[in-house]
Amino acid sequence: MKKILLIDDDREDAEIFRDALETVNPAAAFYWIDGSGEIKSIIGKTVPIPDLIFLDINLIRTTGWDWLNMLKGEPAFSSIPVVMYTTSNRAEEKERAGDLGAIAFVTKPNSYTDLETALASLVI
């Protein structure tokens, strides 16, 4: 069973993401954290070590860029693939994501169907 973690500070976005993921891959286990707190105190303790992480850029306390740097800087998490999942579609942010080690950059879709399509290409 694939473990998918979403780091996003919007509960409604997380619920929509969870529903779409369940449709696309019912066997996947979904976990959500709001991006607050220290990475070491959350991943592996509050939620299991995931197989894939979706990470919003625009978080309230710690930015997605900070999270990505922390993830890639921690040996226990550095090999976990990270997908930047954000409202942005700016080319410079896509480039930065790749430079920092993200495997993909997904702009949050405007429709549920588009979200399912985006997830299907990454979680199956």
CATH number of the domain within which 109 lies = 3.40.50.2300
Domain that holds residue 13: 3-123
Q: How far is CA 60 from CA 64, 65, 116, 122, in A?
A: 9, 12, 26, 26
Least confident interval from 47-51, 100-104, 108-112, 118-122? 47-51
Average pLDDT of the residues in 80-101: 94
- Higher pLDDT: 68 or 38? It is 68
Cβ neighbours, 10 Å, residue 106: 19
pLDDT of 37 over the 60 cut: no
Q: What is the pLDDT of residue 43?
A: 64
Least confident interval from 42-51, 71-80, 94-103? 42-51
Number of structural domains (the chain) is 1
